[in-house]
Amino acid sequence: MSALVYIIRKSMKNSLKELGKKPGKLILYLLVIAAILGMVLLSFIRTVDSPAPLFWFSGILFLFIALFVVNAFAKGLSGGDAIFEMNDVNLLFVSPVSPRKVLLYGLVRMAKTSFWAGFFILFQANTLANFGVDYGGVLLTFAGFLLSMAVLTTASLLIYSVTNGNAVRKRIVKCLAVVLFLPLAVFLAVQYFTTQDMATALEITIGSAFLRFFPVAGWTSSGVTAFLSGDAATGLLFLGLNLLLCAGMTAYILLSNPDYYEDVLVATETAYEKKRALADGNMGAATASKRKVRVAKTGVSGSGATALFGKHMRENLRENRFGILTLPSALIALGAVIMILFGRELSLVLQILMWLQIFLIGTGRGLKETYSHYIYLIPVSSFQKILWSNMEIMARTLFESALIFGIGGALIKAHPSFILICILTYTLFSLLLLGVNYLFMRFFGADISAGLLLFIYYLAVILAMAPGLVMAFVAGAAIGGDAGYFTGLLILSGWELAAGLGCFALSKGVLHNCDMPQMKTGK
C-alpha cells in the first residue's frame, strides 16, 4: 500500500511544485478560487423574494445525472470507464501490488476526475439561488454529484466486466437500460394524457416514487432535495442507497474477479490513444467514435478552398445521425426549446446559448482543421481557406438557432421580429468568436500555456463584446419596452458583425503566418 500512497502523495506534491514554475496556471487557479469565493459572498448578499419550487431543482438534477446514467451504460457496453492511466498499466499492473489495493487506488484517482467534472456546479450559486438554495446547498449538490459519479464509474466497470465478449449478456444489459427508464416514461405519458398539461404532469412525475427510486439519478436528486428541505433522515436514506450500491458493486468486482486488469485495459488504452492523438494534432482521431459507420454515398465536392466545405459536409453527413446537427447540438436544441416552453421567453435561452457557444465554437470543423497540416499547405489564399472551412459551423449555428428560436418562439407565440433578432444575435456571435480565435492564433501561437491562453481568451471575448453590450443596454434602456429590447439586440448584432470582421481583418493571412497550434494534453 505504501507504494500507492507514495504515488498519490508525490503526484500531489509535484502538481503543487509545477504551479510555481507555471505562473499562468497559478493565476488561473487563484482566479477560479476568487470566483468561487465571490459566489459564496454573493449568495449571502442576494435574496430571492419568491424562489421557484424546489421540485423543479430536483427534476433538473435528476435529468442531469440521468444523462450520466445513460453514459455509464454506453461506456460499460463499449469499453468500460477509464479509471487508470497507461502509466498505471505499465508500472502498477505488473508490480507485486495486490489488485484489490490497485483498484482502491483507481477509485481514489477517479474521485479526482469526478471532482473536476462537477466543478462547474460550484459556480451555479446564482442559478440555484432562484430555488432558494444557499451556498451550503450548492456544496451539498456538488457532493451528491461526486457520489453519483463514483457509483456510475463503478457501474460501468462492472457492466464491462460482466458483458465483455458475451453478446447475449450485452443484449440483456441493453434491454435493462431501456426497462429502467420505461416505467418513468409511461408514468409521465399517463399523467400528461390525464392532466393535458405538461407542467403539471412533470410536477407529479418528479414527486412520484418512479423518479425518486430511480437508481442513482433519482436517489441523488431526492436525497439532496430532502436535505435541502430539512429532512435529513430521508436524505440519508437516499444517499445511503448510492453508497450501498457502490460498495456492493466494488465488493462484487473484487471478490468475483480479482483479475480485472483485462477489463480496464481497453478503456485505458482508448483514453491514452485519444490523448496522444490530440497531442499529435490528430484532432479527428481523438474525437472519432468507435461506432461502425456504413459507407454509402462517397465523394467530395468543391474546388480549391470550397473543397474544405465539401469535405466537412461529407464528414458531417457520414458522422451525424441528424445531418448537419451533431448529437450534442441536437440535444442542446431540444433542451433549449423545452426551456423556452417553460420559461416563456427567448432572451434567457439566448444568453445561456451564447455562454455555451464560447466553449462549443471549438467543435466546428474549421477550427479543428487548424490542428492538422493540410489546410496550411493547400495553395489557396488564407482568407478563402478560413471562409470555407468555417462555413460548416456558421451554417450549423444558423440552422440550430433557426430551429431553437423558430420552434421555441412559435410555441410561445413570440413576435417574428424577436425570433429573427435572436437568430441573428446568436449566429453573429459565432462569427465574433471565430474572429477572436483566429486573432489568437495569429498573435499567440505556441508560445503560451493552455491555462493562461484559455483565461485570456475568455477575457478577450468579454472585452470584444463589452462595447456592444454597453451600447445595446443604453439604447434598450432609453427606448424601453419591447421596442427597446429589440433595438438593443439589433445594436448588439451589428457590433458582433463589426467586431468579428475587425478580428478577421487583424488576423489577415493567419494560416500562412502562424504556428500550427498543438493541443496541450500533458501527455
Partner 1 sequence: MIVVQNVSKHYGKFLANDDISLAVQSGELAVLLGPNGAGKSTLIKSVCGLLRFRGSITIGGADNRSLEAKRLLGYVPEMPVLYPMLTVREHLEFIAKAYRLQTWEPIAEELLRRFELSDKTNKLGKELSKGMQQKVSVCCALLPQPKAVILDEPLVGLDPHGIREIKAVIAGLKNSGCALLISTHMIESMEENWDVTYIMKDGKVAALYRRGDLPAGQTLEDIYFSITESGKKA
- Residues lying near partner 1 in the complex (CB under 8 A): 280-282, 284-285, 288, 293, 295, 298-305, 307-308, 310-311, 314-315, 318-319, 372-374, 376-381, 445-447, 512-516
**DSSP H or E segment with residue 1:** none
For partner 1, the closer of residues 291 and 413 by Cβ is 291
Long-range CB pairs of 84-91 (<8 Å, 24+ gap) are: 84/109, 84/264, 84/268, 85/109, 85/268, 85/271, 85/272, 86/268, 86/269, 86/272, 88/268, 89/261, 89/265, 89/268, 89/269
For partner 1, the closer of residues 130 and 372 by Cβ is 372
For partner 1, the closer of residues 258 and 509 by Cβ is 509
The residues, any chain, with a CB within 8 Å of residue 241's CB and separated by 6 or more, are 219, 223
Q: CB of 20: closest distance to partner 1 in angstroms?
A: 17
Q: CB of 281: closest distance to partner 1 in angstroms?
A: 6
Q: CB of 298: closest distance to partner 1 in angstroms?
A: 6
CA distance 403 to 364: 18
For partner 1, the closer of residues 269 and 315 by Cβ is 315
Q: CB of 392: closest distance to partner 1 in angstroms?
A: 13
- Among candidates 138, 134, 144, 147, which has minimal Cα distance to 120? 138
For partner 1, the closer of residues 25 and 311 by Cβ is 311
Residue 325 backbone dihedrals phi, psi, to 5 degrees: -80, 135
The residues, any chain, with a CB within 8 Å of residue 507's CB and separated by 6 or more, are 435, 438, 439, 441, 442, 443
Q: CB of 23: closest distance to partner 1 in angstroms?
A: 13
- Among candidates 394, 396, 361, 374, which has minimal Cα distance to 305? 374
How long a stretch of residues is the chain? 523
The residues, any chain, with a CB within 8 Å of residue 273's CB and separated by 6 or more, are 285
For partner 1, the closer of residues 97 and 378 by Cβ is 378
**Cell numbers describing residue 506:** 487583424
For partner 1, the closer of residues 149 and 308 by Cβ is 308
Q: Which residues of 67-94 are buried (b: 16+ CB within 10 A; e: fewer)?
A: ebbeebbebbbbbbbbbbbbebbeebbe
Q: CB of 369: closest distance to partner 1 in angstroms?
A: 9
Its sign, for the CA torsion 268, 360, 433, 473, is negative
CA distance 132 to 124: 12
Q: CB of 366: closest distance to partner 1 in angstroms?
A: 14
**Cell numbers describing residue 229:** 428541505
Q: CB of 393: closest distance to partner 1 in angstroms?
A: 16
Q: CB of 447: closest distance to partner 1 in angstroms?
A: 5
For partner 1, the closer of residues 131 and 440 by Cβ is 440
Cβ-contact 455, 27 below 8 angstroms: yes
Q: At what angle do helices 2-21 and 99-117 cross, to 10 degrees?
A: 30
Q: CB of 237: closest distance to partner 1 in angstroms?
A: 47
| Single-letter code of the amino acid located at 44 | F
For partner 1, the closer of residues 262 and 515 by Cβ is 515
Q: CB of 331: closest distance to partner 1 in angstroms?
A: 20
For partner 1, the closer of residues 290 and 413 by Cβ is 290
Cβ-contact 211, 246 below 8 angstroms: no
Q: CB of 143: closest distance to partner 1 in angstroms?
A: 39
CA distance 102 to 247: 16
Cβ-contact 205, 191 below 8 angstroms: yes
For partner 1, the closer of residues 285 and 324 by Cβ is 285
Cβ-contact 439, 503 below 8 angstroms: yes
For partner 1, the closer of residues 230 and 299 by Cβ is 299
